[in-house]
A and B are shown apart, each in its own frame.
Chain A
Amino acid sequence: MLELIHRFFHRNPTAAPGIVLLVAVAIFSAVAGDRFFQPFNLSLVLQQVTIIGLLGVAQTLIILTAGIDLSVGAIMVLASVVMGRLAVDFGWPPAAAVALGLAVGAACGTVNGVIVTRLRLPPFIVTLGTWNVFLALNLWYSRSQTIRSQDIESAAPLLQWTGRSMELLGARVTVGSLLMVLLFGVAWYALNWSAWGKHVYATGDNPQAAQLVGIRTNRVLLSVYAVGGVICAVAGWALIGRIGSVSPQAGLTANLDSITAVVIGGTSLFGGRGSVVGTLIGALIVGILRNGLALTGVDVLWQEFAVGLLIIIAVALDQWIRRI
């Protein structure tokens, strides 16, 4: 019996987080009733997980290669500051400002990738370093000042476009949330239906074997970090939509939250196993846990407590599932 369960989870890595998500929804529906299980509240959860979800896409790609990126939050904020400053303070056309923000994200990711592949340093150390570097650049370029929401609204409404919401079956869905879902779809397609995706898995799973069949693993790694940087910059755009303003202090906990979503989603920190679908579920689990506990009147500190427990359980489960 246990063997059957084990084999089931081994073959379906997203099953475990999926079940946890359903159980969480069921419990909160029972306890909090209509206040929880209604389109408006659930779309609120979706908005709350948008930023973490977007960073989670980037983080999943990188963790699948047995790496980690501690700088995703810093890249996101830096990109949002670049977009805001260019469009509002320097009067660039908003579209050009967004494009340059995305380019800055790509550049940051490429820097990470180049250091990881050329200097052969552990990704943990590399991105711990660049995290500080990017945050310093962010403070320098923003002059530690917030760009006010009204100024963005009058000078460059495109930057807040990601925060625009629309009615969908009684729910309010923002453009940013749709962007997140779209990027999850694109990443899922790339990982499952392209040779590049298979090479990402192979690079994280057994790099020597990948090299022996002719995969240029350094090139794969570089592409993953660069793409990850672009996705972080998209998260930066979504961040402007979410909070309305551009703040160099925003999203400080986003780094660890993105790793949390990936881990709870069942992707292995050792690389080669996992999926972006799991990460989406992982982000939703965290969002629903926070939302549901808040609705039932539980103190914020217990929300963190619950998330912490969940991380440990998820990793323990992953260890068990990976045993053959």
Chain B
Amino acid sequence: MTGNRQSASPPMLEAHGLVKRFGRVTALDGADFELYPGEVLAVIGDNGAGKSTLIKVLSGALVPDEGEVRFGGEPVSFRSPIEARLAGIETVYQDLALSPALDIVENLFLGRERRARGILGTVFRRLDRVGMHREAGERMSELGLLTVTDLSQSVETLSGGQRQGVAVARAAVFGSRVIIMDEPTAALGVSETNRVLELIRTVRDRGTPIVLVSHNMPQVWEIADRIHVHRLGRRVAVIRPGTHSMTDGVAIMTGAMGPGERH
């Protein structure tokens, strides 16, 4: 239903000629990257291909040695994940950057709490707890996440999939323009994985493009609109689940097949 819009609109997030060296190791060697509005772009690659380095550059955790990153057409150079996040690039980390002892609402609004109106908010700095609770409920149900009924339960009491849901919801709720997800289902069981995939589709259909880093090929072929194949520090191909089989993808990823070939 999506993924064909890139011909019409310019990339949301793009990078050209990225180079990143760690000592004598070249992790990125002239890498390019494009993410178009409204798509799920999967990034696949063998271990050590440099895909985490690519993701860290895009999310502001690493500064590239060469090359440029453009966001919404404008050149950007993030020096920290916080800068990237403020610009609208939200990263959902594999180890879930949530605060386990705080509850769901508190986690959703952590760092961007809302104050009550009037003198209570300005002078007494009182939080608008009721308002935040209501908005959290609305947003979570929009995303189909209201299997969690009690928003004031602490995050540590949630299952892995529910926590992932909270992390994704936090990224999706606050109007971020791009969401990067690093192995979001790595620690989850089958049904929870399906729920997270469903959530990814929902977020995409609401218009936020998603970069999905995954080792799970069936999952990538199920959900991605386009697949960015990374090998030896650069992008070697962009394929589609419709035109290339999983075997083709793995062959390109490992270098057994050239990007242009097809079985």
Known contacts: A194-B125, A205-B102, A272-B101. The answer to whether A212 contacts B113 by CB under 8 A is no
Closest residue of A by beta carbon distance from B61? A212
Closest residue of B by beta carbon distance from A197? B127
CA distance A189 to B111 in the complex (A): 18
Contact of B99 among A189, A194, A209, A214 (CB under 8 A): A209
Closest residue of A by beta carbon distance from B120? A193
Interface range, B side: 20 to 34
CA distance A305 to B100 in the complex (A): 35
Closest chain B CB from A209 CB (angstroms): 4
Closest chain B CB from A101 CB (angstroms): 27
Q: Which residues of the partner chain B approach A198 to less than 8 Å between Cβ atoms?
A: 102, 106, 110, 113, 127
Beta-carbon contacts of B154-166 to A below 8 Å, as 1s and 0s?
1011000000000
Closest chain A CB from B217 CB (angstroms): 29
Q: Is B195 in contact with chain A by the CB < 8 A criterion?
A: no
Q: Which of B10-18, B79-87, B181-189 contacts A (4 or more CB under 8 A)?
A: B79-87
Q: Is A202 in contact with chain B by the CB < 8 A criterion?
A: yes
Q: Is A132 in contact with chain B by the CB < 8 A criterion?
A: no
Beta-carbon contacts of B45-69 to A below 8 Å, as 1s and 0s?
0000000000000000000000000
Known contacts: A196-B125, A213-B110. The answer to whether A10 contacts B81 by CB under 8 A is no
Closest chain B CB from A141 CB (angstroms): 36
**A209 touching B98, Cβ below 8 Å:** yes
Closest chain A CB from B209 CB (angstroms): 21
CA distance A210 to B154 in the complex (A): 16
**B126 touching A324, Cβ below 8 Å:** no
Q: Which residues of the partner chain B approach A324 to less than 8 Å between Cβ atoms?
A: 156-157
Q: Is the interface of A mostly helix, strand, loop or mixed?
A: helix
**B129 touching A210, Cβ below 8 Å:** no
**B115 touching A201, Cβ below 8 Å:** no
Q: Is A208 in contact with chain B by the CB < 8 A criterion?
A: yes
B window 81-97: CB within 8 A of A: 81-82, 85-86, 93, 96-97
Q: Is the interface of B mostly helix, strand, loop or mixed?
A: loop
**B111 touching A213, Cβ below 8 Å:** yes
**B100 touching A206, Cβ below 8 Å:** yes
Q: Which residues of the partner chain B approach A189 to less than 8 Å between Cβ atoms?
A: 124
CA distance A74 to B161 in the complex (A): 48
CA distance A208 to B85 in the complex (A): 15
Contact of A213 among B97, B100, B115, B127 (CB under 8 A): B97
**A205 touching B97, Cβ below 8 Å:** no
Q: Is A242 in contact with chain B by the CB < 8 A criterion?
A: no
Known contacts: A201-B101, A205-B99. The answer to whether A195 contacts B115 by CB under 8 A is yes
Q: Which residues of the partner chain A approach B93 to less than 8 Å between Cβ atoms?
A: 212
Q: Is A85 in contact with chain B by the CB < 8 A criterion?
A: no
Most buried by A among B93, B100, B101, B102: B101
Contact of B127 among A194, A202, A210, A214 (CB under 8 A): A194
Known contacts: A10-B157, A212-B81, A214-B86. The answer to whether A195 contacts B98 by CB under 8 A is no
Q: Which residues of the partner chain B approach A212 to less than 8 Å between Cβ atoms?
A: 81-82, 93, 97
**B157 touching A215, Cβ below 8 Å:** no
CA distance A298 to B156 in the complex (A): 44
Beta-carbon contacts of B98-118 to A below 8 Å, as 1s and 0s?
111110001000111101000
Q: Which residues of the partner chain A approach B124 to less than 8 Å between Cβ atoms?
A: 189, 193
Closest chain A CB from B95 CB (angstroms): 9
Q: Which residues of the partner chain B approach A201 to less than 8 Å between Cβ atoms?
A: 99, 101-102, 106
Contact of A273 among B82, B86, B101, B110 (CB under 8 A): B101
Q: Which residues of the partner chain B approach A11 to less than 8 Å between Cβ atoms?
A: 153-154
Closest chain A CB from B208 CB (angstroms): 18
Closest residue of A by beta carbon distance from B170? A213
Most buried by A among B110, B124, B125, B156: B110
Closest chain A CB from B31 CB (angstroms): 24
Closest residue of B by beta carbon distance from A270? B101
**B110 touching A215, Cβ below 8 Å:** yes
Q: Which residues of the partner chain A approach B112 to less than 8 Å between Cβ atoms?
A: 213-214
A window 208-228: CB within 8 A of B: 208-215
**A215 touching B111, Cβ below 8 Å:** yes
Closest residue of A by beta carbon distance from B95? A208
**B82 touching A202, Cβ below 8 Å:** no
Q: Which residues of the partner chain B approach A196 to less than 8 Å between Cβ atoms?
A: 125
Q: Which residues of the partner chain A approach B129 to less than 8 Å between Cβ atoms?
A: 193
Q: Which residues of the partner chain B approach A209 to less than 8 Å between Cβ atoms?
A: 96-99, 110
Known contacts: A201-B101, A212-B93, A214-B82. The answer to whether A193 contacts B126 by CB under 8 A is yes
CA distance A196 to B111 in the complex (A): 9
Give 5 nearest A-B pairs by CB, closest first.
A213-B111, A195-B113, A209-B97, A212-B97, A272-B101
Given pairs A196-B125, A210-B99, 5 additional interface contacts (CB within 8 A)? A195-B115, A198-B102, A199-B111, A205-B99, A215-B110
Report 9 cross-chain contacts, Cβ distance below 8 Å, ordered by A residue. A198-B102, A198-B127, A202-B102, A205-B102, A206-B100, A209-B99, A210-B110, A214-B112, A324-B156
